[in-house]
Amino acid sequence: MVLENGYTLGFLGSGKMGTAVLAAAIAGAEAAKAQNLPDAIVPGRFVVSVRTAKSRVRLQERFGDKVTVVTDNQKVIDESNVVVLGFKPYMAQDILNRLHYSHFTILISLLAGTSIESIRQFTSVNTFIVRATTNTAAQCGQGMTALSYQGEYHPDSPITLAVEWLFNQTGKFVMVEESKQDACVALCGSAPAFTYLFMEALIDGAVKSGLPLETAQTMAAQVVLGAGHMAQVTGRHPASLRGDVCTPGGTTINGLAILEDRAVRGAVIGALDKATNISQDIGRAANENTASLDQARVASHINLAEMAQQISISRRNTLNAARQPSL
Ligand SMILES: NC(=O)c1ccc[n+]([C@@H]2O[C@H](COP(=O)([O-])OP(=O)(O)OC[C@H]3O[C@@H](n4cnc5c(N)ncnc54)[C@H](OP(=O)(O)O)[C@@H]3O)[C@@H](O)[C@H]2O)c1
């Protein structure tokens, strides 16, 4: 397969997460074009499918003619070399099973919990699958992505170069074993929301102490950014950085004592643990479906599309009953 500079990057689904990655990719591609990097493997065209007219208008208003927006998923597969999967995990089987993969396609799955093997079962041997757990800060180049590749990792392959270019535009990335992806869903995917909650509390506390809301909001954002930046540039453990600002008997150690007394640390650990477990549950649900798909394939020669539909209907019923989590 040839993956050349100017290739087409597709998106199946572009809501909060897909749009964040799309925005970073467009910005990066424009910057690369301006720099004229002949050896880079950078997308030159973007084609995106969504379900509703509302989302089509949203994307057209935001990106104009930089993006072709369609409602036909097959068109995205047919026209793209690399396709980002940006729909919800419970939709995977229903969407992917209906498509035909007539040429070799690299699929980058943003789906929480859903394993590479599940995606492979829902697609065809004509695909190469990469799992990427990221977050919405990707849209301003400050995302954190955990990457796992199907099979062996080849650092110099065009696939790796294209994927790593993409996630360099969205922020930082690390390679992880696929078995660690559920923990990454909790830390990279969910923890930004935990941090926003902490920021809200900082703002509320500052307002309670007399600061105007706008001032408190500006300060809280910079405090969180600054703390993260310090941890990054010094490479020091946060406990050590915290030690630097605790004057004996001072304001900080007294404030920290309240946080420890109210078990904030334990609550955060619990939140990450819960998010990891939910991601594992999503994965188990997908695996059960691929297992039932395999058994059905062996048991009879019924039409594959019909079978996929039957399984997805029974799955949708189960999922409706269980009310799937949003990640
Ligand atoms: N949000 C996060 O912070 C986050 C973090 C980590 C991972 N993720 C993962 O990212 C994925 C997307 O999450 P999200 O929060 O971005 O969800 P979202 O905002 O609900 O976006 C879902 C997208 O899928 C589209 N879609 C729905 N049905 C479709 C179909 N049949 N064919 C094609 N597209 C279809 C939707 O189109 P319409 O808008 O037209 O309905 C929408 O663009 C999930 O798998 C999630 O696990 C999200």
Residue whose C-alpha is closest to residue 297's, from 73, 103, 122, 157: 122
- The larger pLDDT score, comparing residue 299 to residue 130, is at 130
Q: Is the CB of 49 under 6 A from ligand 1?
A: yes
For residue 206 and ligand 1, the question of a CB distance below 6 A is answered with: no
State how far the Cα of 102 lies from the Cα of 100, in Å rounded to an integer.
Answer: 6
Distance CA 26, CA 44 (A): 9
Domain spanning 8-177, CATH class: alpha beta
The SS3 of residue 106 is: strand
Q: In this model, does residue 297 exceed pLDDT 80?
A: no
- In tens, the pLDDT along 271-289 reads 999 999 999 999 888 777 7
pLDDT attached to residue 293: 53
What is the phi/psi pair of residue 147, to 5°?
Answer: -110, 135
> Which residue from 73, 31, 67, 65 is spatially nearest to 47, judged by alpha carbons?
67
Q: In this prediction, what percent of the chain has a pLDDT beyond 70?
A: 87
Separation of alpha carbons 107 and 194, rounded Å: 29
Q: Which residues pair with 148 in a beta bridge?
A: 131
The reported pLDDT for the residue numbered 63 is 97
Domain ranges of the chain: 8-177
Residue 156 pLDDT class (50, 70, 90 cuts): confident
**What is the distance of C-alpha 121 from the center of its chain?**
21
Whether residue 109 has its Cβ less than 6 Å from ligand 1: no
Beta bridge partners, 49, equal 12, 70
Phi-psi label, residue 323: left if phi above 0, alpha if psi -120 to 50, beta otherwise: left
Q: Whose CA is nearest to atom 42 of ligand 1?
A: 15
- Spatial separation of the C-alpha atoms in residues 218 and 35, rounded to whole Å: 34
- 245-270 tens-digit pLDDT: 999 999 999 999 999 999 999 999 99
Task: State the Cα–Cα distance between residues 193 and 282, nearest whole angstrom.
Answer: 19
Evaluate: CB of 181 within 6 angstroms of ligand 1.
Answer: no
The answer to whether the CB of 143 is under 6 A from ligand 1 is: no
Dump strand ranges (E) for the chain. 8-12, 45-49, 67-70, 82-85, 105-109, 127-133, 143-149, 171-175
pLDDT, tens only, 107-119 = 999 999 999 999 9
Is a pLDDT exceeding 60 seen at residue 317?
Answer: no
**Model pLDDT, residue 315:** 36
- 12 Cα: distance to centroid of ligand 1 (angstroms): 9
Q: What's the whole-number mean pLDDT along residues 90-116?
A: 95
- Say yes or no to pLDDT of 319 above 50: no
State the average pLDDT over residues 186-215.
98
Mean pLDDT, the chain, whole residue set = 89
Give residue 303's pLDDT band: very low, low, confident or very high (50, 70, 90).
very low
Handedness of CA 273, 275, 278, 280 (dihedral sign): negative
